[in-house]
Amino acid sequence: MRRMIGTSWKMNLTPSEAADWFAVFVPLAAGLSDVDLFVLPSFPALSVARDRLAGTAVAWGAQDVSPYASGEHTGDVSAAMLADLGCRYVEVGHSERRREHAETTGLISSKIQAVLRAGMDVILCTGEIEPAPVQAAIGQVIADLDACLADVPADQLGRVVVAYEPVWAIGPGRRPADPQRVGRVHRAIAGRLGRGSDSARSRVVYGGSVDAASAPRLLAEPGVDGLFVGRNALDPRAFALIASAQPGR
């Protein structure tokens, strides 16, 4: 299974700034042939991503989607619109969306269905809010996944990338979770979703204050299929360095 390294810019980088980011990153990414890369800009910068990443191996996608197909939903963006822009991935369920927009597992489930119907893949974020013993954290994460993925057929689970992001490890000044803890949670997630063949199984990536120093140790942990990078990817050179990390201690 190839490593998967991606980033969500959150509400950062204007379209002009995005163009500058891609101008630096695309040449650096050309040498990263052993990893699947993706970038999730803000909605206004999606067309920049499409234009600057065309012809490269780097995928792009969106940070959110409407559960509705079309109609009177002012300000929303449908899955069909994102697919038409060439998005491969759509992120759903991030803790900030849950906290700031009161998104429930039912709404997240509806968004997942919209993404899959439009032919794109899902990046589903999950993670415990407060530090807890690892078995308790696993219980919380599995319960959340069960609710969010209740309507996804087993043969479609391979189109869902699970991003384990413990909320307590996200944000400035935070540190990534201990790699062994991360590995235990990832293996529990994989066991719940079913491994299957490498081509069909869900990948489980880690997000939460990932940087170049922590990346090798996280990638070395069994069950960690890749990384989902936040603020440390706003510098394209720093993101390229993380993306080039090899598993190690």
Give the mean pLDDT of 225-241.
96
In the prediction, which pLDDT does 163 show?
A: 98
| pLDDT tens sequence across 203-232 | 999 998 899 999 999 999 999 999 999 999
Length of the chain: 249
Q: To the nearest whole number, what is the mean pLDDT of the chain?
A: 95
Residues labelled as active-site residues = 94, 165
Cα-trace Rg, the chain: 17
| pLDDT tens sequence across 6-52 | 999 999 999 999 999 999 999 999 989 999 999 999 999 999 999 99
CATH superfamily of the 3-243 domain? Aldolase class I (3.20.20.70)
In the prediction, which pLDDT does 171 show?
A: 79
Considering all CA atoms of the chain, what is the largest pairwise distance in Å, rounded to the nearest integer?
Answer: 52
In the prediction, which pLDDT does 170 show?
A: 87
CA neighbours closer than 13 Å in the CB half-sphere of residue 104: 2
15-29 and 236-243 helices, crossing angle to 10° = 40
Q: Distance between CA 220 and CA 198 in Å, rounded?
A: 18
* Out of 138-142, 172-176, 239-243, least confident range: 172-176
In the prediction, which pLDDT does 172 show?
A: 79
**Degrees to nearest 5, angle at CA 75 with 69 and 76:** 30
